[in-house]
Structure formats: C-alpha cells, structure tokens
C-alpha cells in the first residue's frame, strides 16, 4: 500500500511507526529513538525528538509547517500533508518513508477501508481530538437531549407542563397569557373569547 504527501526534507528510511494522536500528544515524551514519528501535526513540544527520529510524517502541514522546517534543520526525512494518515497507519507498524518522492509504503493491516479521522473540538468540554459523542467527560442527557457533564447537571424544566428538557419560555405545549398573567396550554381560550365566537 502507498500513501502520498508533500516532500519537506529529502531522504529514505524504513522503520517502525511511533504514532501520536492529537488527543494524546503527551505521548511524545515516550518516543523511542530510531522510530518514525507519525502525527496529525507537530508543535514546538515535539522538537526534542526530531534528533532521535529516523523520519517524520504528518497528516496536515506544508513546506512552512513546524514539522517541515524543523526536520530540515535536523536533516531528518519528512513528508507532510498526507491525507487521512492516522486512519491508515498503526503504532509499531513498519513503513518506508521516501521523502525523495513523497511516498510512504507499508503492508496493509486494515481489513476494511478506513474512515477519515475527524479532528474536531468536543462542543461540551472543548477538548480537541474527539467528538462530543465519543467524549469520556460528556454524555447525552435523556431528559434534555443535550451533551452534559457525566458528573450531573440541572436540566432545564418547564414549570407549566412539568417536563424536563426545555424552559417554559421555549415550551411547545404552553404559552404565556397576558390576560391571565401566566403560562397556559396552547389551545387555551378565555371564557369571554368563547362567548364572542
């Protein structure tokens, strides 16, 4: 199998993948010398391993990205901007990085077509690297149909129809009656309105 990206620093190397996912970037501190660093992107926090890596591959970035610039400074073969990279490669897998032509070759260990890795920010806890549906800190509340903390929360509550999941102002079952000065059923009619009809 072959992946293609943009050449950032020339060279050809074969080695094991050291995979760093965006939601576990602290794993970079466990880097094994001689491995090929495979990451969504690199940051200055990764710089200390560039001298230990036999190669660098990132899913995003161009020739002016952190990975490209620092790999050239260290003379480490590097390819950037490899689409869906983290969906195809696994930690410990052996690959050949050919930064002379921008290709990564590997034996496929995937039994079905991989799906793109979605890098998004959890809308509840604002952590990058997972969707709110997969968050360890959030869950879908059955009452209000919102993602909330697993530690609990206060659901909005309609005081008129006694249902959770919405406030009285947002209720589809009731409305505010200015004549009665309170919330009433949507089909509410005053006695004098019924007599006029």
Whose tokens are 């890596």? That residue is 53
Tokens for 18? 């050291």
Looking at 48, 66, 130, 166, which residue is catalytic? 66
- Measured distance CA(108)–CA(94) in Å, rounded: 10
Structure tokens at 119: 């890098």
Q: Has 66 been annotated as catalytic?
A: yes
Strands 103-106 and 36-39: unpaired
Q: Which of 32, 28, 79 is nearest to 55 (CA)?
A: 79
Distance of alpha carbon 3 from alpha carbon 185, whole angstroms:
61
Output DSSP code: residue 171: -
**Residues identified as active-site:** 66
């Amino acid at each position: 199998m072959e992946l293609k990206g943009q050449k950032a620093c020339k060279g050809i190397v074969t080695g094991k993948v050291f995979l760093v996912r965006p939601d576990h970037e602290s794993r970079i501190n466990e880097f094994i010398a001689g491995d090929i660093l495979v990451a969504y992107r690199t940051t200055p926090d990764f710089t200390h391993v560039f001298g230990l890596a036999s190669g660098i591959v990132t899913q995003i970035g161009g020739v002016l990205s952190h990975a490209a610039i620092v790999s050239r400074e260290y003379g480490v073969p590097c390819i950037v901007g490899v689409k869906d990279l983290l969906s195809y490669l696994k930690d410990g897998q052996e690959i050949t990085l050919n930064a002379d032509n921008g290709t990564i070759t590997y034996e496929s260990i995937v039994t079905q077509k991989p799906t793109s890795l979605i890098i998004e920010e959890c809308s509840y806890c604002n952590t990058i690297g997972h969707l709110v549906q997969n968050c360890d800190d959030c869950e879908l509340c059955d009452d209000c149909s919102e993602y909330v903390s697993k530690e609990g929360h206060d659901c909005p509550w309609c005081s008129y129809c006694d249902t959770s999941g919405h406030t009285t102002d947002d209720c589809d079952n009731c409305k505010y009656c200015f004549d009665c000065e309170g919330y009433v059923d949507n089909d509410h009619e005053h006695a004098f309105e019924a007599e006029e009809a």
